[in-house]
C-alpha cells in the first residue's frame, strides 16, 4: 500500500498555482464578447457564503457561479474580468421555505475554451481574488476527482485536504452531499432530525475547493428532503445551477440529470432514486423518460470519435459488498444491459460509505482479472466503482466474497461477489488521470483511491484503443 505523496514524482498533481498567477495578469487581455463594461462600484457589506462553480451545458464556454447571503440583497451581481474591465452578470435568486438564506446564481456565457478568468461578487466585502477555468476544446491530459457521501465532519475535512493536494480540474460528486435530512427518503425515519441550515455549513466547508473548481453533483437519497416538494428535490435545485439538459417528463419542471463533455470524456449524471428497489420514495417518477434519455445521450457520445471514455454517475450502488446498502437490483435491472451494450466505461456510485471496484463486467460476469495495479482493456466491459467514503460515518463490509442485492420486494438476497476486485472500508476519494491517444494509439484513464491518511488503496488503468467497434 503506497502513500499519495510517495506517488507524486511518478504521478504529479496538475499544478495550478503558477498557472493561475500568470492568468491573473493575462485575464485582462482576454477578448471575448460580454455585457456593457462598468466601473467597479463601492464594495458592499454583505458577505457571500458557500461560493461554488458548475459547468454549463457547454463547459468550454459556459460557467455557473453560485453563492448565498443571509438575507436578500439589492441586485446580486457577479463580475468577471473581461477586456481589462469588470463585466457584470445579474444573478437570479432562489429560496427555500425552512431558512432565510438566499441562493444566488449567475451564468457566464461567451467564454473561451481552456481559459482562466478572474471573478468576484459585487457586494462581497472580501477582497480575495477568485478564478474559474473553462473546459478545453481539444483533447489533453487532465485530472478530476469523484466521490460521494461527504457530510459535515472531520472525515470530510480530511478528504478535502486530500482533494486540495490532488488539485483536480473538477469534481464529480455522486450524491448525499450534506445530510440536512438524515431520514434519506425513508418514511419511517422522518422522526429523525432535520436541520436545513446544514446546507450552509456544508457549502462553507467546501468553498475553498468549490469556488475554484467545478463541483458537478448528482442527487442521492438524502437530497429527497421532507419539505422539498413532491420529489423532495426543490431545496437541492434552489442551491445548484445545473446544465439543464437532462431527462424531462410531465411531472417535473427542472431536471436534476444532465450531461457534459470534458476533453475526451463524457460525463452523465443520472438519478438513481428513479430506479432504486431499496428506497421507493421516487421510484419511476421518470421511468422510461430517463431510460430513453440515457440511451440517446450514451449512444450519441459513443458514436463521437473524439470521445474515448464515458462515465455515468448516480448515487445508488449497482455493485457493492458493503453490509449497509449492498447492491441495488433496481438500478441493475433498469440500466446494466444498456450501459454494457453501449460501451459505458465507468459507473460511479456512492450510498455505501466505502470504496469498492469491480472487474470489467458484462451481465454481472467478470471479463478480465483486474486486481490493484492492473491495466484493463475497457472495451471488455463496464467497471463499477463505489466511491462513497468522502466523509460521512464509515460502513462495515460483508465477509468477502459475499454480498447481497436488494430485490423489487425489498428483500436482501445474498449473492457471491466474484465481480469484486478491490475494497477499502475507510474514508477515501477517487482521483482520475485521463490521457488522450498517444503514439501507441490508446487513451487511458488511471483511477486511484486515496485514503484520508494519504495511502493509495487502489490503482487501475483503463485503456481504450483508437479504433472502436461500432455501436450495435
Which positions ≥6 away from 232 have C-beta within 8 Å?
181, 185, 223, 224, 225, 226, 281, 282
Q: How high is the pLDDT of residue 36?
A: 26
Q: How high is the pLDDT of residue 399?
A: 61
| pLDDT of 356 strictly over 50 | yes
CATH class of 137-465: alpha beta
Q: How high is the pLDDT of residue 30?
A: 31
Contact (Cβ atoms closer than 8 angstroms) between residue 284 and residue 333: no
**What element of type H or E holds 172?**
strand 170-173
| pLDDT of 12 strictly over 70 | no
| pLDDT of 22 strictly over 80 | no
- Band of residue 24 on the pLDDT scale cut at 50, 70, 90: very low
| pLDDT of 256 strictly over 70 | yes
| pLDDT of 270 strictly over 50 | yes
Judged by average pLDDT, the poorest of 20-24, 34-38, 184-188 is 34-38
- Band of residue 252 on the pLDDT scale cut at 50, 70, 90: very high
| pLDDT of 50 strictly over 50 | yes
- Band of residue 83 on the pLDDT scale cut at 50, 70, 90: confident
- What is the secondary structure of 226-295 as a DSSP string? TTSTTTS-HHHHHH------S---TT-SS-S-EEEEETTEEEEE--GGGT-SS--TTTTSSTHHHHHHHH
For residue range 114-142, list pLDDT tens digits in order. Answer: 999 999 999 887 767 899 999 999 899 99
- Band of residue 3 on the pLDDT scale cut at 50, 70, 90: low
Numbered ranges of CATH 3.60.21.10 in the chain: 137-465
What mean pLDDT, rounded, does the chain reach? 89
Judged by average pLDDT, the poorest of 13-27, 51-65, 388-402, 423-437 is 13-27
Q: How high is the pLDDT of residue 188?
A: 87
Q: Which residue has the higher pLDDT, 371 or 13?
A: 371
Q: Which residue has the higher pLDDT, 73 or 18?
A: 73
Q: How high is the pLDDT of residue 261?
A: 97
Q: How high is the pLDDT of residue 218?
A: 98
Query: Rounded to an integer, what distance in angstroms lies between the CA atom of residue 296 and that of residue 108?
Result: 28
Contact (Cβ atoms closer than 8 angstroms) between residue 456 and residue 2: yes
For residue range 106-115, list pLDDT tens digits in order. Answer: 999 999 999 9
- Band of residue 439 on the pLDDT scale cut at 50, 70, 90: low
| pLDDT of 388 strictly over 90 | yes
Query: Rounded to an integer, what distance in angstroms lies between the CA atom of residue 386 and that of residue 325?
Result: 11
Q: How high is the pLDDT of residue 400?
A: 65
Burial classification of residue 338, based on how many CB atoms lie within 10 Å of its CB (0-12 exposed, 13-18 middle, 19 or more buried)? middle
Numbered ranges of CATH 2.60.40.380 in the chain: 17-133
Per-residue DSSP letter, 135: P
Q: How high is the pLDDT of residue 40?
A: 36
Query: Rounded to an integer, what distance in angstroms lies between the CA atom of residue 316 and that of residue 331?
Result: 7
CATH classification code of 17-133: 2.60.40.380
Amino acid at each position: 500500500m503506497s502513500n499519495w505523496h510517495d506517488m507524486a514524482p511518478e504521478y504529479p498533481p496538475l499544478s495550478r498555482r503558477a498557472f493561475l498567477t500568470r492568468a491573473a495578469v493575462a485575464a485582462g487581455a482576454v477578448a471575448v464578447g460580454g455585457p456593457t463594461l462598468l466601473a467597479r462600484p463601492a464594495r458592499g457589506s454583505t458577505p457571500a457564503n458557500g461560493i461554488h462553480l458548475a459547468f454549463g451545458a457547454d463547459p468550454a464556454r459556459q460557467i455557473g457561479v453560485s453563492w448565498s447571503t443571509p438575507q436578500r440583497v439589492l441586485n446580486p451581481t457577479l463580475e468577471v474580468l473581461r477586456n481589462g474591465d469588470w463585466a457584470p452578470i445579474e444573478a437570479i435568486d432562489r429560496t427555500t421555505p425552512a431558512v432565510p438564506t438566499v441562493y444566488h446564481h449567475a451564468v457566464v456565457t461567451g467564454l473561451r475554451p481552456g481559459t482562466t478568468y478572474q471573478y468576484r461578487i459585487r457586494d462581497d466585502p472580501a477582497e480575495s481574488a477568485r478564478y474559474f477555468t473553462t473546459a478545453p476544446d481539444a483533447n489533453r491530459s487532465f485530472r478530476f476527482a469523484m466521490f460521494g457521501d461527504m457530510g459535515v465532519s472531520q472525515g470530510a475535512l480530511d478528504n478535502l485536504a486530500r482533494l486540495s493536494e490532488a488539485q483536480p480540474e473538477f469534481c464529480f460528486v455522486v450524491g448525499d452531499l450534506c445530510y440536512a435530512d438524515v431520514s434519506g427518503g425513508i418514511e419511517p425515519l422522518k422522526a429523525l432530525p432535520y436541520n436545513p441550515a446544514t446546507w450552509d455549513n456544508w457549502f462553507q466547508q467546501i468553498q475553498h475547493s468549490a469556488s475554484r473548481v467545478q463541483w458537478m453533483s448528482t442527487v442521492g437519497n438524502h437530497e429527497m428532503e421532507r419539505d422539498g416538494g413532491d420529489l423532495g428535490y426543490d431545496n437541492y435545485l434552489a442551491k445548484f445551477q445545473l446544465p439543464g439538459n437532462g431527462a424531462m417528463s410531465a411531472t417535473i419542471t427542472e431536471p436534476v440529470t444532465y450531461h457534459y463533455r470534458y476533453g475526451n470524456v463524457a460525463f452523465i449524471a443520472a438519478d438513481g432514486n428513479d430506479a432504486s428497489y431499496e428506497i421507493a420514495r421516487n421510484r419511476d417518477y421518470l421511468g422510461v423518460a430517463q431510460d430513453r434519455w440515457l440511451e440517446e445521450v450514451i449512444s450519441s457520445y459513443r458514436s463521437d470519435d473524439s470521445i474515448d471514455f464515458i462515465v455515468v454517475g448516480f448515487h445508488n450502488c449497482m455493485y457493492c459488498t458493503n453490509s449497509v446498502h449492498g447492491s441495488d437490483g433496481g438500478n441493475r435491472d433498469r440500466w446494466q444491459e444498456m450501459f454494457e451494450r453501449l460501451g459505458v466505461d465507468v459507473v460511479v456510485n456512492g450510498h455505501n460509505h466505502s470504496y469498492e471496484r469491480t472487474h470489467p463486467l458484462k451481465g454481472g460476469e467478470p471479463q478480465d482479472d483486474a486486481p490493484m495495479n492492473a491495466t484493463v482493456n475497457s472495451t471488455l466491459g463496464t467497471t463499477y466503482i463505489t466511491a462513497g467514503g468522502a466523509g460521512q460515518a464509515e460502513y462495515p463490509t460483508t465477509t468477502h466474497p459475499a454480498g447481497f442485492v436488494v430485490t423489487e420486494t425489498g428483500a436482501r438476497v445474498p449473492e457471491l461477489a466474484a465481480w469484486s476486485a478491490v475494497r477499502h472500508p475507510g474514508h477515501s476519494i477517487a482521483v482520475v488521470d485521463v490521457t488522450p491517444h498517444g503514439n501507441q494509439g490508446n487513451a487511458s484513464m488511471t483511477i486511484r483511491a486515496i485514503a484520508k491518511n494519504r495511502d493509495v488503496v487502489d490503482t487501475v488503468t483503463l485503456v481504450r484503443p483508437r479504433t472502436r467497434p461500432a455501436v450495435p
